[in-house]
Amino acid sequence: MRRYRRVIFGIFLTLTVACPAMTVCAVAADLKKAPPGIAERLDQGATQKLIVLFDDSAIEREVAANRSRTGIEHDDDAILAFRASRYRELKSRAEPAELSGEVETVKDYSHLPMSFKRFKNRRSLEKFLALPEVTAVYENRPIYPTLAQSLPLIKQPATAGLGLTGSGATVAVIDTGINYTLAAFGSCTAPGTPAGCRIAASVDITGNNVTLNTDPNGHGTNVAGIVSGVAPGARIAAINAFTGGASSIALIIDGINWAIANRSAYNIVAINMSLGDGAKYTAPCGNSHTNPFVTPVNNARAVGILPVAASGNEGYSNGIASPACTPGVASVGAVYDANVGGRQWSTCTDSTTAADQVACFSNSSSFVTMLSPGAIITAAGIGMGGTSQASPHVAGAAAVFRSAFAGETPDQTLARLTGSGVPVTDPRNGVVKPRLNLLAALGAPINDNFSARQALSGDTGQLTGNNANATVEPAEPAHAGNSGGRSVWWSWTPSVSGPVAIDTQGSSFDTLLAVYTGTGVTALTPIAANDNDGAPGNTSGLSFVAQAGIEYLIAVDGFNGAFGSTVLNWGQAPSADLFVTMTGSPDPLAPGETLTYSISVANRGPATAVNTTLTDTLPTGVSVVSTSAGCTTAGGIVTCNLGSMASATAVGLQIAVSPASAGTLTNTVNVASDTYELAPADNSAGIATTVSLPPPAVPALSPWGIALAACLLSGWQQHRKRRKPN
């Protein structure tokens, strides 16, 4: 609440980000080289604050000479003083009289060749960039605010690390308005401008048209900054409902009405009301006849908006203020986020403080919804304490989870927040209420248990998730040899056989990865496992040959209980089934004759066989007569490049050889490709061919030989006749 704030004066962090990759944004008088949008904003009359870098090359040479002369490696006090003096001289030369009043120094960095300057118009920036002393200018881009104790207390950094930031959601903040020009909100020149502006809208419902509140102690600015800190991806719709520090029920209702009317335009998921009437309501004020907030609250919830309100700072132990007492409003009390020493407030004193101690000013009752950090909270450069600071923590949390679980109702979101909070007891009344815990509110992953494993679809893909709040089941194996403690499960059934690679690259934590087959967490057969695959971040990777139709069970765990956002990548390599047949003709044949091998190579698929090659290591003693096109011979080896063979295609070719000697000629050909081979057994074929010598030739008789043989035969026959008896 406003009356209990403690503003920290004089401490404003200048959050700066240079141009992308720290590149120089402008080096001459050409504004095209200036940061994007600067010239346009100057033309529109909006002054611009820029970080300036001066040319200190001469100073660096002098410093190097001083170091060399004194034999030191680092600047000592004397050199630091020398630098500061020379920097002042350098910067003074870059302040010509003609730019007086047009370029102002917002902040000088005495020990750097840099300054933070405000430029009033395009002309002043052009002239300044033309100065020889100026090297570059950089845009003062934002870094989102960090609430030193409160965010770690509610586990916001761990939740944001899982990618849960409220992206796409908007919180309507009904308050004193907002200074949206601050870096905490994206240094907006107007709502939604430039692209990094986190203010979706800034409206005034008081009639005074105050849509930009530059009050350095602004209550609404601090409250909106807390929402942005909890939900750095969400946007703010700032609704100014205060004039001179006061508002009215009619104005607050008007603000709720605006949020309802614009719910779709901005995806408003929550309304924050860090305000109240100061009265004590000892029971829920649900009577619509006496409580004017009942209907507006109900209508807001009806369109999916969760109203959140501060319980009040009057120190009641048995009642809270309105509108927090209204049923349907998430009423929020305050706890300290750390030991901040003794604190005295206008209504009470906490002589000691500690994290999760209920603040003495925080209104409490049996029907307050929950607790959240409220003292002391610094956001957007402003420090305050009160239930006003507790409420926006919950509103920001609502944005985080409505972004992550868009289908949830306000009741479901609130149940998520209250059902997981850290129980805190208020010693004044013994009431125990949950303190906001974003990480616990996330709940366990849906695939925490083996029986709830998620099925992966497709032979290749990527899936994201997290293992926050995951557990290990009884008798679950130690994945990759580490006890882990936060495993999540998937299943995958490939449609074809072949090698597969699975990894967790892109995950935000040190992972463990294991693959099994089996029917239960106690009946698993290990297939492959890995702790670290050498990729950045200690992620894991493995590969194995998968068989079509087999369910593979995939576990991802955190090394020694680590957790974070999970990225699971899987991909099955294409596979083909090549086979080869061959015949040889003639068979048999004689040495020196031509033997022709007819070869057929086919691909049964399913994938294309890339870079297919047939190789024939010829038997000893044969010479190549001819080959089909695409074949080459070297060193007795014939190589035929068949290129890529689609599934269900075949290629025929011939190799003709001539054997030099007789014997059995055995020849084997082999086919291969760069694609994984499903059945390598039929990637070769061979035949044996007989090579034989011809029968010896019979000498031919000359004519006189034939005559002599006839005479001898005739004489022999006559001799036999004479020897026969009569």
Annotated catalytic, 479?
no
**For residue 83, how many other CB atoms are within 10 A of its CB?**
21
Query: Which tokens in the block code for residue 242?
Result: 């205060």
Between the alpha carbon of residue 466 and those of residues 169, 405, 469, 562, 600, the distances in Å are 21, 14, 9, 11, 52
Query: What is the torsional sign of CA 696, 698, 700, 704?
Result: positive
Annotated catalytic, 76?
no
Which residues, 6+ apart, have CB-to-CB distance to 657 below 8 Å? 594, 595, 597, 618, 622, 623, 624, 625
Q: What are phi and psi of 501, to 5 degrees?
A: -120, 135
Locus of tokens 């925490």:
448
DSSP-derived secondary structure letter, 453: P
d(CA 449, CA 27): 59
Closest CA to 362 of 294, 293, 431, 290: 431
Annotated catalytic, 175?
yes
* Adjacent-strand bridge partners of 379: 382
- In SS3 terms, 10-66 reads as CCCCCCCCCCHHHCCCCCCCCHHHCCCCHHHHHHCCCCEEEEEEECCHHHHHHHHHH
**Active-site residue, selected from the candidate residues 56, 115, 124, 175:** 175
Q: Give the helix/strand (H/E) hosting 423.
A: strand 422-425
Query: What is the torsional sign of CA 226, 229, 230, 235?
Result: positive
Q: Give the helix/strand (H/E) hosting 715.
A: helix 703-723
d(CA 382, CA 9): 8
**Active-site residue, selected from the candidate residues 228, 388, 497, 673:** 388
Closest CA to 408 of 291, 272, 265, 301: 301
Alpha helix (H) ranges present in 353-406?
Answer: 387-404
Q: What stretches of 351-391 adopt beta strand conformation (E)? A: 370-375, 377-379, 382-384
Q: What are phi and psi of 352, to 5 degrees?
A: -135, 155
Task: Specify whether the CB–CB gap between 512 and 488 falls below 8 A.
Answer: no
- In SS3 terms, 496-534 reads as CCEEEEEECCCCCCCEEEEEEEEEECCEEEEEEEECCCC
| Torsion (CA) 233, 238, 244, 245 in degrees, nearest 10 | -50
d(CA 655, CA 614): 11
Full DSSP string of 588-612: SB-TTS-EEEEEEEEE--SS-EEEE
**Active-site residue, selected from the candidate residues 204, 219, 247, 510:** 219
Locus of tokens 């829920």:
284
Which residue type, as a one-letter code, is found at position 317? S
Which class for 190: exposed (0-12), middle (13-18), buried (19 or more C-beta within 10 A)?
middle
Query: Which tokens in the block code for residue 719?
Result: 């001799």
Q: Strand 649-659: give its sheet, edge to edge.
A: 578-585, 595-603, 649-659, 622-627
Closest CA to 570 of 455, 444, 482: 455
d(CA 82, CA 76): 10
DSSP-derived secondary structure letter, 280: -
Helix, strand, or coil here: 227? helix
Per DSSP bridges, beta strands 663-672 and 552-558 are unpaired
End-to-end alpha carbon distance in the chain: 164
Query: Which tokens in the block code for residue 213?
Result: 């509140």
Active-site amino acid positions: 175, 219, 388
